[in-house]
């Protein structure tokens, strides 16, 4: 059953599967002392700069928890958008496992600004308040919107002036780079981001993300925290081999460009349907729309997708590297049929 519920629904890209088969040959030293993980460091440095340190992990929540924990002190707090994945979709793991406080800020489009950050960036030296130490942003955001390099640069400068660090949740960082038509480092390393979570699963991997340290001075004890958070793979070569397959060539970009193009096609196809309202800019691989609840329920019997806000009738449709034009056209036709039924 094809659907538009999540880019996590997609399978494994054939080139990634082939890389896994190659990595399966013979023995390699466990826990990251293998030739694949060693080479992966070079691959990440090619994208993000010579100071980069990459720590493969199992999943995005693990990457966020380990990365944030390595950046914080026990009394630290993280400023984030109210819609941030770390705030609403990780089961409280950043607070339960990392032991830090999230200070969330409502935003109209999922993006923080310097003014919005200042709503929570206060109280330093006050022993009664968790100390703001990190600003965490998401690129692309949970609402499918994008930060420009200038916007991220402004956030980084603002944070650093206040002795705060910047974390970037990049679960869909490839989609952002494809849409902006920029190298990965142009809106990360080059503008002052300290640490990022690099997403691979949504872009064709079977399993695997990475904590990517761009500023080694911003973290302490990543390798120990990764183990303590149960994110250290014994057979790490299989995570690293996937990330190499994705990043060493242009697979990451091909996959992301295709997913973005399918989202644009979907928005163009459903926008003319009477009664359907596209609610947010389509800048990456997500389309948000409002349609009658009964129509959404009937349509879900044919294509999987989720409500974003059941109170307003807003739904979210996600496209992936394996979404086809036929998938999009069939969905748009089914939506038009249900709307007119």
Computed over every residue of the chain, the mean pLDDT equals: 97
Q: Where are the CATH 3.90.1150.10 domain residues in the chain?
A: 251-340
The CATH number that domain 13-247 falls under is: 3.40.640.10
Check whether 1 has a pLDDT greater than 90: no
pLDDT at 240: 98
The CATH number that domain 251-340 falls under is: 3.90.1150.10
Residue 242's SS3 state is helix
Crossing angle for the helix pair 251-270 and 325-340, nearest 10 degrees? 20
- Bridge partners for 315 per DSSP: 289, 307
pLDDT at 177: 98
pLDDT at 341: 75
CA dist., res. 92 & res. 305, Å (int): 24
pTM exceeds 0.85, yes or no: yes
Q: Where are the CATH 3.40.640.10 domain residues in the chain?
A: 13-247
CA dist., res. 341 & res. 338, Å (int): 5
Task: Categorize the per-residue pLDDT at 2 as very low, low, confident or very high, splitting at 50, 70 and 90.
Answer: confident
Taking residues 289-301, report their average pLDDT: 96
Taking residues 104-124, report their average pLDDT: 98
Taking residues 65-71, report their average pLDDT: 98
Task: Categorize the per-residue pLDDT at 17 as very low, low, confident or very high, splitting at 50, 70 and 90.
Answer: very high
Check whether 309 has a pLDDT greater than 80: yes
DSSP 26-91: S---STT-SHHHHHHHHHHHHHH-TT-EEEEESSHHHHHHHHHHHH--TTEEEEEETT-HHHHSST
Closest CA to 278 of 325, 305, 317, 324: 317
What are the pLDDT digits (tens) for 144-201? 999 999 999 999 999 999 999 999 999 999 999 999 999 999 999 999 999 999 999 9
Instruction: Provide, rounded to the nearest whole percent, the portion of the chain with pLDDT above 70.
Output: 100
Sheet harboring 286-290: ordered strands across?
Answer: 277-278, 286-290, 314-318, 306-309
């Amino acid at each position: 059953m094809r659907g538009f519920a999540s880019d996590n629904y997609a399978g494994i890209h054939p080139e990634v599967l082939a890389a896994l088969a190659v990595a399966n040959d013979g023995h390699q030293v466990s826990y990251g002392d293998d030739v694949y993980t060693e080479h992966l460091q070079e691959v990440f440095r090619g994208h993000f700069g010579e100071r980069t340190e990459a720590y493969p992990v199992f999943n995005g929540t693990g990457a966020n928890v380990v990365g944030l924990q390595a950046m914080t002190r026990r009394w630290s707090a993280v400023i984030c958008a109210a819609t941030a994945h770390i705030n609403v979709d990780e089961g409280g793991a950043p607070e339960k496992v990392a032991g830090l406080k999230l200070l969330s800020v409502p935003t109209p489009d999922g993006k923080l600004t310097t003014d919005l950050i200042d709503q929570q960036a206060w109280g330093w030296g006050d022993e009664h308040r968790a100390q703001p130490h990190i600003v965490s942003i998401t690129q692309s955001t949970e609402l499918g919107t994008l930060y420009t390099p200038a916007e991220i640069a402004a956030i980084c400068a603002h944070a650093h002036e206040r002795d705060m660090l910047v974390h970037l949740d990049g679960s869909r960082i490839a989609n952002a780079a494809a849409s902006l038509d920029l190298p990965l480092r142009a809106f990360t390393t080059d503008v002052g981001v300290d640490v990022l979570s690099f997403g691979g699963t949504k872009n064709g991997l079977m399993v695997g993300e990475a904590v990517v340290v761009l500023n080694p001075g911003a973290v302490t004890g990543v390798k120990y925290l990764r183990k303590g958070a149960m994110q250290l793979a014994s057979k790490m070569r299989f995570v690293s081999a996937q990330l190499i397959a994705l990043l060493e060539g242009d697979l990451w970009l091909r996959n992301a460009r295709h997913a973005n193009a399918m989202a644009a096609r979907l928005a163009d196809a459903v926008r003319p349907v009477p009664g359907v309202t596209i609610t947010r800019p389509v800048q990456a691989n997500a389309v948000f729309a409002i349609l009658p609840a009964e129509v959404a329920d009937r349509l879900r019997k044919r294509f999987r997708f989720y409500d974003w806000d059941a109170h307003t009738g807003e739904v979210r449709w996600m496209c992936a590297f394996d979404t086809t034009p036929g998938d999009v056209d069939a969905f748009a036709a089914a939506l038009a049929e249900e709307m007119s039924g």
